[in-house]
Each structure stands twice: as structure tokens, then as C-alpha cells.
Structure 1
Amino acid sequence: MYHKEKSIQIKNSASSLYNNLGVLRIAPRRLTYFTVVHANVVNMVSASWDGLNYSHRQLQSKEPNVATSTSLIMQAAFCALPSRDLLVVTSQKGIQMYESDGSIMVYWHALDTPETSTAQAVFARGITAVWENYICVGVSSGVILVFDVPSKGSNITLSEVLEEHKESITDMASECSGSQECIADLVSADDGGNLCVWKSGEEFQLLNKIPGFDMSCSSVKLWKGTVVAGYGTGQIRLYEAVTGILHAEVNAHARWIYSLDIAPFSGLLLSAAEDSLVRVWHLTLTPETNSVEVAHLHNECVTDTQICGAKFCDGDGYAFAVTGYDLSEIIRYTQS
């Protein structure tokens, strides 16, 4: 179903982090931007669709008034809002927001670090754009920071702090099917596997809390009112977002799941794990019976590689890209 294309070389190898791949498709310019985190650097590649032209950029983790920062970066993700696209980078020190090409940093938010040294690390992780003008970022303390983003300029403000999780946020996702009738439009996951389902607005409302089972939920997605969650057990669970009813449980991988992605237009689901496998599934919703069916479509083994990031390159799932720990390339696959 998919075949391997020519790989994209990157300046540094990928760190062993969940969801360590960012992809943004720039259709008017026939370009795709990719980001991969390595220690305190974000490797950014701009690739033309014909695969002939590439340009590279590296972003350092920044801190105000510090010449060089050794702060480790935890995640880099593109946030596509209706009015603008931003690249959000989270680290042990704070949150940086850049223009989507990485050229200009438009906002910096420092994390609160405890005055007394504690055993718990401080970092931000879990990034998603929500609705028309919000970007949400998770923090190791369990809080979620909600930023109000104007259509242009750098007047970004912290509008709300959501305090529901008691453990470090691992990932967050917003409704990606584009349907406005979905009540729930944000889901957050933490190290204990707990999921919180939210409705955005001037004040975010907690709609539902789905309890974990002491196994970290490393990657989560939200599609047509269904939460898709990947766990350290290698399992994928599908819940109805508002009620928390378990629709399906799939023993998808033999090792820890590092990344999930959904192609919103086709209902294709991508899962990638430590077991060197990337799998493609198809989700079908049946509104009459309020059920979800999962069909397995494709396997891709990336030999001798601990996969740490996988993303579709388009909304139909025609192509996807993969990163692996200690791998200085982005591997691409397209439908044959």
C-alpha cells in the first residue's frame, strides 16, 4: 500500500522523545516543513514536493538574557490556526513561539521553576492549536497553559491555566476532522494515562475525565468526537470523548507507542512504536449504532530503529514520514 521514498537528511539525529516529528504542508508554495528535536536544537527542513530542493535551519532553545542555553528541548510542533501558522518549541525553561518558517521568534513564556530544588524536573510538553485563536501547552506540573493568539503580531497572552491533571502532561490534541458540531474539541493526556476532555471557549470547560490505569499515555488524538490514545503497553484505546465509553481496544504494538497521527479526511490512523513498526489503520464511525470500527491496513518495519516520531504529510494520508532515535534522516513513504 505504501512504498519508501528517498529520505531527507537532517543535521542531527533525533532525540528519544515522544512525538518527535513536526510536519506542516505549505500548499501555495508546494513545500513541506519538517522539524526534529535533538538535545537543545530543533532541526528544521523545508522540502519541495518534487523532492529536489531542501533548505535547513536550526533553532536553539532560547532564554532571555542568556547567550547560549543548554536547556533540553522536549517538543517542537506546528500549530495551524485559521489566521496563521506558528512553530511552538517547549523546553525545560519555557515555551517559544516562532513564525512557521522559524525565521522570527514572536513570543517567549518562562516556566515557573521552584526556588528550592526538587526531585521533579520542570519542562513543558504537549502542544496543540485549538479552535480559532488558542494554543495550548502542557507542563510537567500537570497544568495546561492556554495562550490567546492574535491573527498577526506578537501580542500573545496567557489567557487561562487549566488545573485538572496531577501528573506531567504527555500530549494534547484538538479536534482534527474540522466538524464544528463536535462538542469536545481538546483532549489532554498525562503520565498516569489519565485523559481530560475539554470544550474550548473564552473559558475552557472540562467535559469528561477518563481514568488511566497507571500506564503512561504517550500520544493522543481527537477525531469526530472519538479519543484515540496510545499507551506504554503498546495498546491503542478508542473512547467516545464526551461519555468516556470505550469503543475499542487494540493490541497494536509489542513495545511502547511513541506516536499517533490521524489523516482527518480519510480516517486513516498511523501508529509508531519502539518495536520498529509503523502501522496504518482505518477508522470507520457508524453514527446509527454510535460505534467505531478499526481495520488494519498496512505494516512498515523500520529495521533496527527505535521509532520516535511519525506523521502524515497531508490530510488524506497519501504520504507519511518517520523519525527514529539516533537517526539523522526523515524516512518518507507514499501510497503506491
Structure 2
Amino acid sequence: MAAASQLTSGVSLLHNNLASSSSGTMASIHNSLNAGQGKLLLHSLATGQSKDGPEVVQATSIRYLETLHGPVLVVTSTNGTQVYTEDASALIFYLPIADQAGPDTIRYHQAGCFVPSAQHLVIGTSKGTVWPVSAVAAGQYVQLHEAAPASPTAEVSDLCFSPIADAVVTVHNNGDLRLWRVSEDEPYTNSDVVPNLCQAPVRVVSLGAQLAIADGPGTILILDAMSRELKAEVTAHARWLSAAVSREEIGLLVTIGEDTVLNVWQVEPSEGLVSLHHSAVVTDKLLCGVALHGSGASVVAYDSDQLYHVNF
């Protein structure tokens, strides 16, 4: 069993429910059905201290994005998107839900990425759209034009920016993959669609010339970022794959699943060949979040207040 630190509350069962900044601040989500009891959970690797962050209402994703003016914490929810300072001590920007849902639907935002060339934060939505926000400086965030997909699709489940393709890549709850061309002023353009590529995507990440998709039923798909050709398909976990994170500069992909296992994968940069670098059982619980740091990774599990640390 891995070494552990203690958080201030139990972690909720959300995909990718752990994020880390470049300086070692960890953040996770504790949702609650009771008003005023949902909150962010924060931990500093440097000091070993944990604390409560701001209140949240039905949060759907959490992510640190490394902007040109430093890391920011992006939390999406049924209320929209909140962008905080790294330690969540101040709210920098709020992007509300744009329209009201019908009687049988819930509107929400989901996931975020940063586009360095345009200095945009880009947020996914339950309508299958993407919403860029100009982030040229800490105090100069500006909401831009929401961009619609080229054809009907399902909710955005995750997104990333691919530098080699110079595009934002979204994966959707129906298994679609879509590329969006970046625009400074006009709405982004959905320039390409690969329909029904996977079953229930949990995460999409850029790995140099490749894209990696972590699919819920337990597989990893490696695609050429330019042609979208499938290069490899790997059976990664025996149960639901719940989170993935990458270190793009060295071709490293880390996945966790409800099988209690953390796997570290090496992805060869040109051909996309995949090899298993390390595997470990973390704890006998449903793992739901993983984040990388200098010596390895940290992991959280559903309904546990432990932050597990795995070296590899």
C-alpha cells in the first residue's frame, strides 16, 4: 500500500478528480447534496498541509492549467466555470452557463485546456460546444465566442490542446473525437470529426505527435495527431478506467482504474508504440484521480480522505 497524506474530507466519485500545479499544490473535489457542504480539497506537497478550499456546487471537473502568467485552478460545474489563483484564495474569473436547460436536461461545463499561442483557456460544455476565454494576463480575462460543433454530437467529456496539430481536441460522451481550429476573434471552427471512435472517453491528452484517449471500459487508444489514424489499442485495466494524466515532454501516460491499479505507460514519440513502465496496486478502494509530481504520482479514491503517493 502506498504512503499517504490526509485531506480534510472524502473525495467524490468523479473522473480525473485530482489536479496538481507545477509547484506541487494538489486539488480535489468533495461534492455534497447538502447546500453549503461541497468544497475543494487542497494539499501542499511542499508543506504537507491540507486545507478546505472554496465551496462548490455540483462540480464536474477540476484542473490546473499552466498559463503564461502562472498556474490557475479551473473548476467546472452546473453553475459554469470558476477560475481561481493557484491556492484557490481568490476567484479570477467566472464563466456562467449561457442558457437554461430543458425540463429533462442539466447544463454544465466540463474540462478545460490552455492554448499558449492564443493565450486562451478553452472550456467544454454539455451542449458539445467549446468556449474560449482570453487570458492574456491575470486580471484581463475576457469571454469570447462559444463555438458549435459541425454536426450534432453529445456532451464534451474532455479536451486538450495538441501543439503539433495546432488545434483543440475534444472527446464526447458518444465516442466522437473532434478537432477545433483556433481563432483569435471569431468562434473556433470544428474542422474534423472522427465519429464513434471509442465507447465512453474519460480523458484525452497530447503526447507529441500522438493523441492518447483513456476509454472508460479500460482501454487506451493512441492516434496520430495529424491523420487521426489509430496506432495502438491497449487493454489497460480490468475494471473502469477512471483517470489519466500525461507528461508530454517525455511521452509518459499514467492511468488508474477502479481495479485499484496505477499503470505507467511509455509512448514512443514517432510510431506511438506503447510499453508498460510500472504497475502498482495503490489501495483497496475505487481510484478516481491521479496527478504527477517530481518523484511519481499522487492518487485519490472515492469516499476516502487519503492522498496516496506512489514513486516510480
1:163 to 135, 138, 148: 148
2:93 is aligned with 1:110: no
Q: Is the 8 A contact 1:184 1:197 kept in 2?
A: no
**Contact 1:42–1:76, Cα closer than 8 Å, also in 2:** no
Q: Among 3, 10, 13, which residue is 1:13 paired with? A: 10
Q: Could you tell me which runs of 5 or more consecutive residues in structure 1 were left unpaired when the two chains were aligned.
A: 27-31, 62-70
| One-letter amino acid of the structure 2 residue matched with residue 320 of structure 1 | A
Q: Would you identify which runs of 4 or more consecutive aligned residues in structure 1 move more than 4 Å?
A: none
Q: In the alignment, is residue 23 of structure 1 matched against residue 26 of structure 2? A: no
TM-score, length of structure 1 as denominator length: 0.84
1:308 aligned residue (278, 281, 288)? 288
- For the residue of structure 2 that corresponds to 1:160, the secondary structure is coil
How big is each residue's C-alpha offset from its partner over 1:90-129, in whole Å with a ceiling of 9 and x where there is no partner? 11111111111111112112103426x4211211111111
- After TM superposition, the structure 1 = structure 2 runs for residues 1-336 of structure 1, keeping only pairs within 5 Å, are 4=2, 6-26=3-23, 32-39=24-31, 40-48=38-46, 53-61=48-56, 71-114=57-100, 117-132=102-117, 133-153=119-139, 155-164=140-149, 166-175=153-162, 182-202=164-184, 203=186, 204-213=188-197, 215-286=199-270, 291-314=271-294, 318-335=295-312
The Cα shift of 1:200 comes to 2.5
How far 1:313 sits from its partner (Å)?
1.4
Letter in 2 for 1:89: V
TM-score by length of 2: 0.90
- The residue type paired with residue 42 of structure 1 is L
- TM superposition shift of 1:205: 4.0
Query: What is the CA distance between 1:207 and its match in structure 2?
Result: 4.1
Quick one: structure 1 residues 57 and 212, their matched pair in 2 at CA, closer, same or farther if it must change by over 3 Å?
A: same
Instruction: Name the SS for the 1:162 alignment partner.
Output: coil
Whether the aligned pair in 1 keeps the contact of 2:207 and 2:269 (CA below 8 Å) is no
Structure 2 residue identity aligned to 1:84: G
Alpha-carbon RMSD: 1.9
| Amino acid aligned to 1:123 | Y
> Retained in 2: the 8 A contact 1:226–1:241?
yes
- Percent of aligned pairs with the same amino acid: 21
CA contact (8 A) 1:311 1:320 kept: yes
Deviation for aligned residue 1:160: 2.5
Residues 131 and 185 in structure 1, CA contact (< 8 A), matched pair in contact too: no
How far apart, CA to CA, are the structure 1 residues paired with 2:283 and 2:43? Answer: 24
- Paired letter, 1:141: K
Distance 1:25 1:131 in 2: 16
Kept in 2: contact 1:259–1:310 (CA 8 A): yes
Q: Quick one: distance in 1 between partners of 2:257 and 2:298?
A: 14
How many aligned positions are there? 301
Deviation at 1:72, TM superposition (A): 0.9
* Residue identity matched to 1:129: F
How far, CA to CA, are the matches of 2:114 and 2:264 in structure 1? 24
The structural deviation recorded for 1:130 is: 1.6
Secondary structure of the equivalent of 1:265? Answer: helix
For 2:5, the aligned partner's letter is I
In 2, the alpha carbon distance for the partners of 1:184 and 1:248 equals 22
Query: Residues 7-43 of structure 1, C-alpha deviation per residue, up to 9 Å, x if partnerless?
Result: 12111111110110010122xxxxx100010102111
Name structure 2 gaps, 5 residues minimum.
32-37
Q: Which residue of 2 aligns with 1:68?
A: none
Q: State the distance in 2 between where 1:79 and 1:139 align.
A: 17
Is the Cα–Cα contact under 8 Å of residues 209 and 244 in structure 1 kept in the other structure? no
Are the equivalent residues in 2 in contact too, given 1:13–1:328 (CA < 8 A)? yes
For the 8 Å contact 2:15–2:289, the answer to whether it is kept is: yes
1:44 aligned partner, one-letter code: L
